[in-house]
Structure 1
Protein backbone atom coordinates (compact mmCIF):
# COMPACT_ATOMS: atom_id res chain seq x y z
CA UNK A 1 0.00 0.00 0.00
CA UNK A 2 1.38 3.43 -0.87
CA UNK A 3 0.34 7.00 -0.31
CA UNK A 4 -1.64 9.35 -2.46
CA UNK A 5 0.86 12.05 -3.38
CA UNK A 6 1.92 12.19 -7.00
CA UNK A 7 5.58 13.25 -7.05
CA UNK A 8 6.02 12.83 -10.80
CA UNK A 9 6.19 16.59 -11.37
CA UNK A 10 7.71 17.63 -8.04
CA UNK A 11 10.93 19.66 -8.06
CA UNK A 12 13.94 18.79 -5.94
CA UNK A 13 13.03 21.81 -3.83
CA UNK A 14 9.64 20.31 -2.99
CA UNK A 15 11.15 16.89 -2.37
CA UNK A 16 13.76 18.34 -0.03
CA UNK A 17 11.10 20.21 1.95
CA UNK A 18 9.00 17.07 2.28
CA UNK A 19 11.98 15.04 3.46
CA UNK A 20 12.79 17.66 6.08
CA UNK A 21 9.14 17.48 7.16
CA UNK A 22 9.36 13.71 7.56
CA UNK A 23 12.47 14.04 9.68
CA UNK A 24 10.77 16.60 11.93
CA UNK A 25 7.74 14.34 12.28
CA UNK A 26 9.89 11.28 13.00
CA UNK A 27 11.79 13.11 15.71
CA UNK A 28 8.56 14.29 17.31
CA UNK A 29 7.01 10.80 17.19
CA UNK A 30 10.05 9.22 18.86
CA UNK A 31 9.93 11.86 21.61
CA UNK A 32 6.21 11.28 22.21
CA UNK A 33 6.49 7.48 22.30
CA UNK A 34 9.56 7.52 24.56
CA UNK A 35 8.01 10.06 26.93
CA UNK A 36 4.76 8.12 27.37
CA UNK A 37 6.43 4.72 27.68
CA UNK A 38 8.86 6.15 30.27
CA UNK A 39 5.92 7.38 32.33
CA UNK A 40 4.33 3.93 32.19
CA UNK A 41 7.60 2.22 33.13
CA UNK A 42 8.00 4.57 36.08
CA UNK A 43 4.53 3.89 37.48
CA UNK A 44 4.83 0.14 36.86
CA UNK A 45 2.00 -0.15 34.32
CA UNK A 46 4.31 -0.99 31.40
CA UNK A 47 4.79 -4.50 32.78
CA UNK A 48 1.04 -5.09 32.35
CA UNK A 49 1.09 -4.01 28.73
CA UNK A 50 0.71 -6.78 26.15
CA UNK A 51 4.15 -8.23 25.27
CA UNK A 52 3.54 -8.05 21.51
CA UNK A 53 2.56 -4.39 21.85
CA UNK A 54 5.74 -3.59 23.80
CA UNK A 55 7.71 -5.39 21.10
CA UNK A 56 6.14 -3.49 18.19
CA UNK A 57 6.63 -0.26 20.14
CA UNK A 58 10.37 -0.91 20.58
CA UNK A 59 10.72 -1.95 16.95
CA UNK A 60 8.87 1.13 15.69
CA UNK A 61 11.02 3.53 17.75
CA UNK A 62 14.19 1.86 16.47
CA UNK A 63 12.91 2.07 12.90
CA UNK A 64 11.89 5.74 13.22
CA UNK A 65 15.36 6.57 14.58
CA UNK A 66 17.01 4.72 11.72
CA UNK A 67 14.68 6.39 9.22
CA UNK A 68 15.83 9.84 10.40
CA UNK A 69 19.44 8.95 9.57
CA UNK A 70 18.48 7.38 6.24
CA UNK A 71 16.40 10.38 5.17
CA UNK A 72 19.25 12.70 6.18
CA UNK A 73 21.49 10.63 3.91
CA UNK A 74 19.09 11.21 0.99
CA UNK A 75 18.93 14.94 1.71
CA UNK A 76 22.73 15.06 1.65
CA UNK A 77 22.57 13.28 -1.70
CA UNK A 78 20.37 16.04 -3.06
CA UNK A 79 23.04 18.49 -1.86
CA UNK A 80 25.80 16.64 -3.70
CA UNK A 81 24.94 13.78 -6.06
CA UNK A 82 21.86 11.56 -6.20
CA UNK A 83 22.78 7.89 -6.45
CA UNK A 84 20.84 4.66 -6.90
CA UNK A 85 21.20 3.70 -3.25
CA UNK A 86 19.24 6.84 -2.28
CA UNK A 87 16.31 5.45 -4.27
CA UNK A 88 16.70 2.05 -2.59
CA UNK A 89 16.82 3.64 0.88
CA UNK A 90 13.46 5.34 0.35
CA UNK A 91 11.83 2.20 -1.10
CA UNK A 92 12.99 0.18 1.90
CA UNK A 93 11.71 2.80 4.34
CA UNK A 94 8.29 2.84 2.68
CA UNK A 95 8.09 -0.97 2.67
CA UNK A 96 9.11 -1.28 6.32
CA UNK A 97 6.65 1.47 7.32
CA UNK A 98 3.84 -0.43 5.63
CA UNK A 99 4.86 -3.62 7.46
CA UNK A 100 4.97 -1.84 10.82
CA UNK A 101 1.56 -0.27 10.21
CA UNK A 102 0.06 -3.65 9.33
CA UNK A 103 1.73 -5.40 12.27
CA UNK A 104 0.66 -2.66 14.71
CA UNK A 105 -2.96 -3.01 13.57
CA UNK A 106 -2.83 -6.78 14.06
CA UNK A 107 -1.22 -6.49 17.49
CA UNK A 108 -3.81 -3.96 18.62
CA UNK A 109 -6.65 -6.09 17.28
CA UNK A 110 -5.45 -9.09 19.29
CA UNK A 111 -4.60 -7.05 22.42
CA UNK A 112 -6.41 -8.69 25.33
CA UNK A 113 -8.21 -6.95 28.17
CA UNK A 114 -8.31 -3.46 26.70
CA UNK A 115 -9.09 -1.17 29.63
CA UNK A 116 -10.79 1.63 27.74
CA UNK A 117 -11.24 4.71 29.91
CA UNK A 118 -8.46 3.78 32.32
CA UNK A 119 -5.84 6.56 32.48
CA UNK A 120 -2.76 4.41 31.89
CA UNK A 121 -4.38 2.39 29.13
CA UNK A 122 -5.32 5.66 27.40
CA UNK A 123 -1.61 6.39 27.23
CA UNK A 124 -1.05 3.00 25.62
CA UNK A 125 -3.72 3.90 23.08
CA UNK A 126 -1.91 7.15 22.31
CA UNK A 127 1.31 5.24 21.63
CA UNK A 128 -0.54 2.97 19.22
CA UNK A 129 -2.00 5.99 17.41
CA UNK A 130 1.40 7.65 17.19
CA UNK A 131 3.00 4.55 15.69
CA UNK A 132 0.23 4.05 13.12
CA UNK A 133 0.05 7.73 12.20
CA UNK A 134 3.78 8.03 11.64
CA UNK A 135 4.12 4.75 9.77
CA UNK A 136 1.10 5.60 7.59
CA UNK A 137 2.55 9.01 6.86
CA UNK A 138 5.64 7.31 5.43
CA UNK A 139 3.72 5.41 2.74
CA UNK A 140 4.34 8.32 0.37
CA UNK A 141 8.10 7.68 0.47
CA UNK A 142 7.47 5.02 -2.16
CA UNK A 143 6.14 7.58 -4.64
CA UNK A 144 8.85 10.06 -3.72
CA UNK A 145 11.51 7.41 -4.31
CA UNK A 146 10.43 6.92 -7.91
CA UNK A 147 10.74 10.66 -8.52
CA UNK A 148 14.21 10.64 -6.93
CA UNK A 149 15.10 7.83 -9.34
CA UNK A 150 14.66 10.31 -12.22
CA UNK A 151 17.60 12.31 -10.84
CA UNK A 152 20.08 9.46 -10.28
CA UNK A 153 23.54 10.56 -11.43
CA UNK A 154 22.64 14.23 -11.32
CA UNK A 155 25.17 16.36 -9.45
CA UNK A 156 24.66 19.73 -7.82
CA UNK A 157 26.38 21.53 -10.68
CA UNK A 158 23.83 20.08 -13.11
CA UNK A 159 20.86 21.50 -11.21
CA UNK A 160 19.16 24.72 -12.22
CA UNK A 161 21.70 25.44 -14.96
CA UNK A 162 24.71 25.09 -12.68
CA UNK A 163 23.31 26.99 -9.70
CA UNK A 164 24.93 26.32 -6.32
CA UNK A 165 23.18 23.88 -4.01
CA UNK A 166 22.02 26.70 -1.75
CA UNK A 167 19.81 27.91 -4.58
CA UNK A 168 17.83 24.70 -4.35
CA UNK A 169 16.46 25.91 -1.04
CA UNK A 170 16.51 29.67 -1.71
CA UNK A 171 14.62 29.63 -4.98
CA UNK A 172 10.99 30.65 -5.42
CA UNK A 173 8.59 28.06 -4.04
CA UNK A 174 5.84 30.50 -3.12
CA UNK A 175 2.93 28.14 -3.71
CA UNK A 176 4.33 25.58 -1.34
CA UNK A 177 5.73 28.05 1.20
CA UNK A 178 2.39 29.77 1.67
CA UNK A 179 1.14 26.61 3.37
CA UNK A 180 4.32 25.85 5.27
CA UNK A 181 4.57 26.42 8.98
CA UNK A 182 8.07 27.91 9.20
CA UNK A 183 8.51 26.96 12.83
CA UNK A 184 7.90 23.25 12.39
CA UNK A 185 8.29 22.48 8.69
CA UNK A 186 4.85 20.90 8.62
CA UNK A 187 2.70 21.51 5.56
CA UNK A 188 -0.83 22.53 6.47
CA UNK A 189 -4.10 22.91 4.60
CA UNK A 190 -4.21 26.69 4.77
CA UNK A 191 -7.43 28.32 3.57
CA UNK A 192 -8.99 25.53 1.51
CA UNK A 193 -12.17 25.62 3.61
CA UNK A 194 -14.34 24.73 0.63
CA UNK A 195 -12.35 21.57 -0.03
CA UNK A 196 -12.51 20.60 3.65
CA UNK A 197 -16.29 20.99 3.57
CA UNK A 198 -16.43 18.75 0.50
CA UNK A 199 -14.29 16.21 2.32
CA UNK A 200 -16.61 16.28 5.36
CA UNK A 201 -19.58 15.73 3.07
CA UNK A 202 -18.06 12.77 1.24
CA UNK A 203 -16.95 11.19 4.55
CA UNK A 204 -20.58 11.32 5.68
CA UNK A 205 -21.64 9.65 2.42
CA UNK A 206 -19.07 6.91 2.88
CA UNK A 207 -20.17 6.23 6.45
CA UNK A 208 -23.79 5.99 5.38
CA UNK A 209 -22.84 3.59 2.60
CA UNK A 210 -20.80 1.45 4.98
CA UNK A 211 -23.77 1.14 7.30
CA UNK A 212 -24.94 -1.93 5.42
CA UNK A 213 -21.51 -3.55 5.15
CA UNK A 214 -20.60 -6.37 7.60
CA UNK A 215 -18.42 -5.16 10.47
CA UNK A 216 -15.52 -7.45 9.66
CA UNK A 217 -15.25 -5.88 6.21
CA UNK A 218 -15.53 -2.24 7.25
CA UNK A 219 -13.89 -1.92 10.69
CA UNK A 220 -10.52 -0.74 9.39
CA UNK A 221 -12.15 1.69 6.94
CA UNK A 222 -14.31 3.20 9.68
CA UNK A 223 -11.28 3.55 11.95
CA UNK A 224 -9.35 5.36 9.21
CA UNK A 225 -12.37 7.58 8.48
CA UNK A 226 -12.53 8.52 12.15
CA UNK A 227 -8.81 9.36 12.13
CA UNK A 228 -9.32 11.43 8.98
CA UNK A 229 -12.23 13.31 10.56
CA UNK A 230 -10.18 14.02 13.67
CA UNK A 231 -7.38 15.39 11.49
CA UNK A 232 -9.51 17.78 9.45
CA UNK A 233 -11.29 19.03 12.57
CA UNK A 234 -8.01 20.05 14.21
CA UNK A 235 -7.09 23.73 14.37
CA UNK A 236 -4.44 23.34 11.66
CA UNK A 237 -5.08 20.16 9.62
CA UNK A 238 -1.85 18.57 8.36
CA UNK A 239 -1.79 17.45 4.74
CA UNK A 240 0.62 14.65 5.61
CA UNK A 241 -1.94 13.02 7.90
CA UNK A 242 -4.79 13.59 5.44
CA UNK A 243 -2.67 11.84 2.81
CA UNK A 244 -1.97 8.88 5.07
CA UNK A 245 -5.52 8.37 6.34
CA UNK A 246 -7.00 9.17 2.92
CA UNK A 247 -4.82 6.48 1.36
CA UNK A 248 -6.01 3.95 3.94
CA UNK A 249 -9.67 4.80 3.32
CA UNK A 250 -9.25 4.55 -0.45
CA UNK A 251 -7.44 1.24 -0.16
CA UNK A 252 -10.18 -0.12 2.10
CA UNK A 253 -12.97 1.05 -0.20
CA UNK A 254 -11.33 -0.50 -3.24
CA UNK A 255 -11.04 -3.83 -1.42
CA UNK A 256 -14.85 -3.82 -1.29
CA UNK A 257 -14.93 -3.87 -5.11
CA UNK A 258 -15.63 -7.61 -5.24
CA UNK A 259 -18.53 -9.63 -6.55
CA UNK A 260 -18.86 -11.29 -3.14
CA UNK A 261 -19.30 -7.96 -1.35
CA UNK A 262 -21.63 -6.63 -4.01
CA UNK A 263 -23.74 -9.78 -3.66
CA UNK A 264 -24.07 -9.20 0.09
CA UNK A 265 -24.98 -5.52 -0.28
CA UNK A 266 -26.77 -4.74 -3.53
CA UNK A 267 -26.55 -0.94 -3.18
CA UNK A 268 -22.75 -1.09 -3.17
CA UNK A 269 -22.56 -2.12 -6.82
CA UNK A 270 -24.21 1.12 -7.92
CA UNK A 271 -23.03 3.61 -5.31
CA UNK A 272 -19.59 2.50 -4.11
CA UNK A 273 -17.62 3.17 -7.34
CA UNK A 274 -18.99 6.72 -7.65
CA UNK A 275 -18.52 7.57 -3.97
CA UNK A 276 -14.94 6.25 -4.09
CA UNK A 277 -14.20 8.29 -7.21
CA UNK A 278 -15.64 11.45 -5.61
CA UNK A 279 -13.57 10.91 -2.47
CA UNK A 280 -10.39 10.55 -4.50
CA UNK A 281 -11.16 13.73 -6.46
CA UNK A 282 -11.70 15.77 -3.30
CA UNK A 283 -8.38 14.55 -1.89
CA UNK A 284 -6.63 15.46 -5.15
CA UNK A 285 -8.07 18.98 -4.98
CA UNK A 286 -6.77 19.46 -1.46
CA UNK A 287 -3.26 18.31 -2.39
CA UNK A 288 -3.13 20.59 -5.44
CA UNK A 289 -4.06 23.72 -3.48
Structure 2
Protein backbone atom coordinates (compact mmCIF):
# COMPACT_ATOMS: atom_id res chain seq x y z
CA UNK A 1 0.00 0.00 0.00
CA UNK A 2 1.44 3.36 -0.93
CA UNK A 3 0.58 5.77 1.87
CA UNK A 4 -0.29 9.37 0.99
CA UNK A 5 2.40 11.92 1.56
CA UNK A 6 2.33 13.40 5.07
CA UNK A 7 2.48 17.08 5.88
CA UNK A 8 0.67 18.16 2.72
CA UNK A 9 0.04 21.84 2.15
CA UNK A 10 -3.53 21.73 0.89
CA UNK A 11 -6.85 20.80 2.50
CA UNK A 12 -7.02 17.84 0.12
CA UNK A 13 -3.61 16.58 1.28
CA UNK A 14 -4.66 16.96 4.91
CA UNK A 15 -7.86 15.02 4.26
CA UNK A 16 -5.84 12.19 2.76
CA UNK A 17 -3.43 11.83 5.72
CA UNK A 18 -5.90 9.51 7.43
CA UNK A 19 -5.99 5.93 6.10
CA UNK A 20 -8.88 5.03 3.81
CA UNK A 21 -11.52 2.41 4.62
CA UNK A 22 -11.45 -1.17 3.35
CA UNK A 23 -14.67 -3.18 3.05
CA UNK A 24 -14.53 -6.90 2.24
CA UNK A 25 -17.94 -8.35 1.38
CA UNK A 26 -19.20 -11.54 -0.20
CA UNK A 27 -21.23 -14.66 0.38
CA UNK A 28 -20.89 -17.17 3.21
CA UNK A 29 -17.85 -19.51 3.02
CA UNK A 30 -15.92 -17.49 0.42
CA UNK A 31 -13.00 -16.84 2.80
CA UNK A 32 -13.69 -13.19 3.70
CA UNK A 33 -12.55 -13.46 7.32
CA UNK A 34 -9.20 -15.06 6.51
CA UNK A 35 -8.55 -12.48 3.78
CA UNK A 36 -9.43 -9.65 6.18
CA UNK A 37 -6.98 -10.97 8.77
CA UNK A 38 -4.24 -11.31 6.14
CA UNK A 39 -4.89 -7.76 4.95
CA UNK A 40 -4.86 -6.43 8.50
CA UNK A 41 -1.59 -8.20 9.23
CA UNK A 42 0.10 -6.93 6.05
CA UNK A 43 -1.29 -3.39 6.11
CA UNK A 44 -1.57 -2.62 9.78
CA UNK A 45 -5.32 -2.83 10.16
CA UNK A 46 -8.11 -3.70 12.57
CA UNK A 47 -11.23 -5.68 11.70
CA UNK A 48 -14.84 -4.54 12.21
CA UNK A 49 -17.42 -7.31 11.98
CA UNK A 50 -20.45 -6.72 9.73
CA UNK A 51 -21.99 -10.19 10.06
CA UNK A 52 -25.18 -9.76 12.10
CA UNK A 53 -25.10 -13.29 13.56
CA UNK A 54 -21.55 -12.87 14.82
CA UNK A 55 -22.73 -10.08 17.12
CA UNK A 56 -24.09 -12.81 19.39
CA UNK A 57 -22.15 -14.25 22.30
CA UNK A 58 -22.03 -18.02 22.23
CA UNK A 59 -22.92 -18.33 18.55
CA UNK A 60 -19.44 -19.36 17.52
CA UNK A 61 -19.40 -22.77 15.86
CA UNK A 62 -22.56 -22.25 13.83
CA UNK A 63 -21.45 -18.86 12.48
CA UNK A 64 -17.85 -19.92 11.73
CA UNK A 65 -16.71 -17.06 13.95
CA UNK A 66 -12.93 -16.65 13.87
CA UNK A 67 -11.40 -17.91 17.10
CA UNK A 68 -9.02 -15.77 19.18
CA UNK A 69 -6.15 -17.93 17.89
CA UNK A 70 -7.23 -17.47 14.26
CA UNK A 71 -7.28 -13.68 14.76
CA UNK A 72 -3.48 -13.76 15.20
CA UNK A 73 -3.50 -10.79 17.54
CA UNK A 74 -5.43 -8.56 15.11
CA UNK A 75 -8.02 -6.49 17.02
CA UNK A 76 -11.59 -7.46 16.09
CA UNK A 77 -14.54 -5.23 16.88
CA UNK A 78 -18.32 -5.84 17.13
CA UNK A 79 -18.01 -9.53 17.90
CA UNK A 80 -19.89 -10.95 20.91
CA UNK A 81 -21.74 -7.73 21.72
CA UNK A 82 -25.29 -9.09 22.08
CA UNK A 83 -27.06 -11.70 24.19
CA UNK A 84 -29.04 -14.20 22.11
CA UNK A 85 -32.32 -12.76 23.40
CA UNK A 86 -31.46 -9.29 22.04
CA UNK A 87 -32.22 -8.02 18.56
CA UNK A 88 -29.54 -6.84 16.15
CA UNK A 89 -30.20 -3.30 14.99
CA UNK A 90 -28.78 -1.96 11.74
CA UNK A 91 -29.00 1.70 12.83
CA UNK A 92 -27.01 0.93 15.99
CA UNK A 93 -24.49 -1.00 13.92
CA UNK A 94 -24.06 1.93 11.53
CA UNK A 95 -23.37 4.32 14.39
CA UNK A 96 -20.95 2.00 16.19
CA UNK A 97 -19.11 0.77 13.08
CA UNK A 98 -18.51 4.29 11.78
CA UNK A 99 -17.35 5.48 15.20
CA UNK A 100 -14.93 2.57 15.46
CA UNK A 101 -13.64 3.15 11.93
CA UNK A 102 -12.85 6.76 12.77
CA UNK A 103 -11.09 5.76 15.99
CA UNK A 104 -9.01 3.20 14.10
CA UNK A 105 -8.08 5.78 11.46
CA UNK A 106 -7.09 8.26 14.16
CA UNK A 107 -4.62 5.64 15.41
CA UNK A 108 -3.14 5.54 11.92
CA UNK A 109 -4.51 2.04 11.27
CA UNK A 110 -6.60 0.74 8.39
CA UNK A 111 -10.23 -0.10 9.30
CA UNK A 112 -11.33 -3.33 7.59
CA UNK A 113 -15.07 -3.97 7.61
CA UNK A 114 -15.92 -7.58 6.74
CA UNK A 115 -19.21 -9.45 6.44
CA UNK A 116 -21.84 -11.05 4.28
CA UNK A 117 -24.90 -9.34 5.77
CA UNK A 118 -25.68 -7.11 2.81
CA UNK A 119 -27.84 -4.56 4.60
CA UNK A 120 -25.25 -4.10 7.35
CA UNK A 121 -22.45 -3.67 4.81
CA UNK A 122 -24.50 -1.08 2.94
CA UNK A 123 -25.37 0.68 6.22
CA UNK A 124 -21.65 1.17 6.73
CA UNK A 125 -20.66 2.10 3.20
CA UNK A 126 -23.57 4.23 2.03
CA UNK A 127 -25.63 7.30 2.75
CA UNK A 128 -28.52 5.63 4.55
CA UNK A 129 -31.23 7.06 6.81
CA UNK A 130 -33.52 4.96 8.95
CA UNK A 131 -37.30 5.31 9.15
CA UNK A 132 -38.83 6.19 12.53
CA UNK A 133 -40.47 3.69 14.83
CA UNK A 134 -43.19 4.08 17.47
CA UNK A 135 -43.97 1.19 19.87
CA UNK A 136 -47.62 2.22 20.18
CA UNK A 137 -48.13 2.36 16.42
CA UNK A 138 -46.21 -0.89 16.00
CA UNK A 139 -48.50 -2.59 18.54
CA UNK A 140 -51.60 -1.30 16.71
CA UNK A 141 -50.29 -2.57 13.37
CA UNK A 142 -49.35 -5.95 14.86
CA UNK A 143 -52.85 -6.36 16.33
CA UNK A 144 -54.40 -5.35 13.00
CA UNK A 145 -52.28 -7.83 11.06
CA UNK A 146 -53.10 -10.63 13.49
CA UNK A 147 -56.78 -9.84 13.10
CA UNK A 148 -56.91 -9.83 9.31
CA UNK A 149 -54.06 -12.26 8.61
CA UNK A 150 -50.73 -11.73 6.84
CA UNK A 151 -52.14 -12.39 3.35
CA UNK A 152 -54.76 -9.65 3.72
CA UNK A 153 -52.19 -7.36 5.32
CA UNK A 154 -49.91 -7.89 2.33
CA UNK A 155 -52.76 -6.85 0.01
CA UNK A 156 -53.23 -3.74 2.16
CA UNK A 157 -49.51 -3.02 1.94
CA UNK A 158 -49.60 -3.44 -1.85
CA UNK A 159 -52.24 -0.70 -2.05
CA UNK A 160 -50.29 1.68 0.22
CA UNK A 161 -46.73 0.84 -0.86
CA UNK A 162 -46.53 -1.36 -3.97
CA UNK A 163 -42.74 -1.21 -4.15
CA UNK A 164 -42.35 -2.57 -0.62
CA UNK A 165 -45.04 -5.21 -1.17
CA UNK A 166 -43.23 -6.44 -4.28
CA UNK A 167 -40.11 -7.11 -2.21
CA UNK A 168 -41.82 -8.66 0.85
CA UNK A 169 -43.20 -12.19 0.85
CA UNK A 170 -46.94 -12.41 1.67
CA UNK A 171 -46.16 -14.54 4.74
CA UNK A 172 -43.34 -12.36 6.10
CA UNK A 173 -45.33 -10.88 8.98
CA UNK A 174 -42.44 -9.00 10.60
CA UNK A 175 -41.51 -7.06 7.46
CA UNK A 176 -45.15 -6.41 6.52
CA UNK A 177 -45.75 -4.93 9.99
CA UNK A 178 -42.64 -2.76 9.71
CA UNK A 179 -43.57 -1.42 6.27
CA UNK A 180 -47.13 -0.61 7.37
CA UNK A 181 -45.80 1.05 10.53
CA UNK A 182 -43.48 3.29 8.52
CA UNK A 183 -46.27 4.22 6.14
CA UNK A 184 -48.56 5.15 9.04
CA UNK A 185 -45.87 7.23 10.73
CA UNK A 186 -44.50 9.08 7.70
CA UNK A 187 -47.02 8.77 4.89
CA UNK A 188 -44.04 7.73 2.77
CA UNK A 189 -43.35 4.33 1.24
CA UNK A 190 -40.81 2.17 3.04
CA UNK A 191 -38.79 2.19 -0.18
CA UNK A 192 -38.17 5.93 0.30
CA UNK A 193 -35.79 5.02 3.11
CA UNK A 194 -33.78 2.43 1.21
CA UNK A 195 -30.14 3.35 0.60
CA UNK A 196 -28.82 4.68 -2.67
CA UNK A 197 -25.50 3.51 -4.08
CA UNK A 198 -23.66 6.54 -2.69
CA UNK A 199 -20.66 6.17 -0.39
CA UNK A 200 -20.90 8.17 2.84
CA UNK A 201 -17.14 8.64 2.48
CA UNK A 202 -15.43 8.54 -0.95
CA UNK A 203 -12.25 7.06 0.59
CA UNK A 204 -13.60 3.51 0.60
CA UNK A 205 -11.89 0.52 -1.03
CA UNK A 206 -14.79 -1.84 -1.69
CA UNK A 207 -14.19 -5.46 -2.67
CA UNK A 208 -16.10 -8.74 -2.61
CA UNK A 209 -14.73 -12.27 -2.59
CA UNK A 210 -15.98 -14.67 -5.23
CA UNK A 211 -15.68 -18.40 -5.73
CA UNK A 212 -16.86 -20.78 -8.43
CA UNK A 213 -20.42 -21.77 -7.48
CA UNK A 214 -19.71 -25.50 -7.44
CA UNK A 215 -16.64 -24.96 -5.24
CA UNK A 216 -18.66 -22.76 -2.93
CA UNK A 217 -21.35 -25.44 -2.61
CA UNK A 218 -18.65 -27.96 -1.69
CA UNK A 219 -17.30 -25.59 0.94
CA UNK A 220 -20.74 -25.09 2.42
CA UNK A 221 -21.28 -28.84 2.78
CA UNK A 222 -17.83 -29.36 4.27
CA UNK A 223 -18.34 -26.44 6.66
CA UNK A 224 -21.67 -27.74 7.99
CA UNK A 225 -20.26 -31.22 8.63
CA UNK A 226 -17.21 -29.68 10.31
CA UNK A 227 -19.48 -27.58 12.55
CA UNK A 228 -21.34 -30.67 13.72
CA UNK A 229 -18.05 -32.46 14.40
CA UNK A 230 -16.79 -29.40 16.31
CA UNK A 231 -19.60 -29.33 18.86
CA UNK A 232 -22.46 -27.49 17.16
CA UNK A 233 -25.08 -29.54 19.03
CA UNK A 234 -23.40 -28.79 22.37
CA UNK A 235 -23.29 -25.09 21.48
CA UNK A 236 -27.02 -25.09 20.71
CA UNK A 237 -27.81 -26.89 23.97
CA UNK A 238 -25.92 -24.18 25.86
CA UNK A 239 -27.75 -21.47 23.94
CA UNK A 240 -31.11 -23.07 24.77
CA UNK A 241 -30.14 -22.79 28.43
CA UNK A 242 -29.24 -19.13 27.76
CA UNK A 243 -32.72 -18.45 26.34
CA UNK A 244 -32.10 -18.38 22.59
CA UNK A 245 -35.75 -19.30 21.95
CA UNK A 246 -36.81 -16.00 23.51
CA UNK A 247 -34.92 -14.13 20.82
CA UNK A 248 -36.04 -13.64 17.24
CA UNK A 249 -32.96 -13.19 15.09
CA UNK A 250 -30.72 -15.73 16.81
CA UNK A 251 -33.17 -18.63 17.04
CA UNK A 252 -34.15 -18.30 13.36
CA UNK A 253 -30.57 -18.35 12.07
CA UNK A 254 -29.76 -21.05 9.54
CA UNK A 255 -28.27 -24.03 11.33
CA UNK A 256 -29.44 -22.93 14.75
CA UNK A 257 -33.12 -23.36 13.86
CA UNK A 258 -32.37 -26.85 12.55
CA UNK A 259 -30.23 -27.90 15.52
CA UNK A 260 -32.79 -26.56 17.97
CA UNK A 261 -35.39 -28.75 16.25
CA UNK A 262 -32.99 -31.70 16.47
CA UNK A 263 -32.28 -31.16 20.17
CA UNK A 264 -36.03 -30.89 20.78
CA UNK A 265 -36.52 -34.25 19.08
CA UNK A 266 -38.40 -32.75 16.14
CA UNK A 267 -35.78 -33.55 13.47
CA UNK A 268 -33.10 -36.18 13.02
CA UNK A 269 -29.48 -35.07 12.97
CA UNK A 270 -29.18 -36.13 9.33
CA UNK A 271 -32.25 -34.08 8.37
CA UNK A 272 -30.94 -31.10 10.34
CA UNK A 273 -27.60 -31.27 8.54
CA UNK A 274 -29.21 -31.60 5.11
CA UNK A 275 -31.62 -28.74 5.78
CA UNK A 276 -28.76 -26.54 6.99
CA UNK A 277 -26.73 -27.27 3.85
CA UNK A 278 -29.70 -26.60 1.56
CA UNK A 279 -30.66 -23.36 3.29
CA UNK A 280 -27.07 -22.14 3.45
CA UNK A 281 -26.69 -22.70 -0.30
CA UNK A 282 -29.91 -20.76 -0.81
CA UNK A 283 -28.52 -17.96 1.38
CA UNK A 284 -25.30 -17.93 -0.66
CA UNK A 285 -27.30 -17.36 -3.85
CA UNK A 286 -29.23 -14.50 -2.23
CA UNK A 287 -26.04 -12.89 -0.92
CA UNK A 288 -24.37 -13.17 -4.31
CA UNK A 289 -27.39 -11.61 -6.04
CA UNK A 290 -27.43 -8.76 -3.50
CA UNK A 291 -23.77 -7.90 -3.98
CA UNK A 292 -23.80 -8.38 -7.78
CA UNK A 293 -26.29 -5.52 -8.02
CA UNK A 294 -23.62 -3.16 -6.67
CA UNK A 295 -21.48 -2.17 -9.65
CA UNK A 296 -18.96 -0.35 -7.44
CA UNK A 297 -17.58 -3.62 -6.13
CA UNK A 298 -14.28 -5.05 -7.29
CA UNK A 299 -14.45 -8.84 -7.22
CA UNK A 300 -11.36 -10.64 -5.94
CA UNK A 301 -10.63 -14.39 -6.23
CA UNK A 302 -11.30 -16.47 -3.15
CA UNK A 303 -8.81 -19.19 -4.07
CA UNK A 304 -5.81 -16.98 -4.89
CA UNK A 305 -4.90 -14.87 -1.89
CA UNK A 306 -1.91 -13.23 -3.58
CA UNK A 307 -4.00 -12.08 -6.54
CA UNK A 308 -6.78 -10.96 -4.19
CA UNK A 309 -4.34 -9.00 -2.05
CA UNK A 310 -2.76 -7.32 -5.09
CA UNK A 311 -6.22 -6.18 -6.20
CA UNK A 312 -7.02 -4.96 -2.68
CA UNK A 313 -3.80 -2.94 -2.60
CA UNK A 314 -4.75 -1.23 -5.87
CA UNK A 315 -8.21 -0.41 -4.53
CA UNK A 316 -6.73 0.99 -1.32
CA UNK A 317 -4.27 3.13 -3.25
CA UNK A 318 -7.14 4.53 -5.32
CA UNK A 319 -9.28 5.14 -2.22
CA UNK A 320 -6.38 6.90 -0.51
CA UNK A 321 -6.41 9.47 -3.31
CA UNK A 322 -10.01 10.44 -2.50
CA UNK A 323 -10.62 13.24 0.00
CA UNK A 324 -12.21 11.72 3.08
CA UNK A 325 -15.49 13.30 4.20
CA UNK A 326 -16.02 11.17 7.29
CA UNK A 327 -16.05 12.95 10.63
CA UNK A 328 -12.85 12.70 12.57
Confirm or deny a common fold (TM above 0.5).
no
| Structure showing greater relative contact order (alpha-carbon pairs closer than 8 Å, 6 or more residues apart) | 2
TM-score by length of 2: 0.24
Decide which structure has greater helix share: 1
TM-score by length of 1: 0.26
Decide which structure has greater strand share: 2
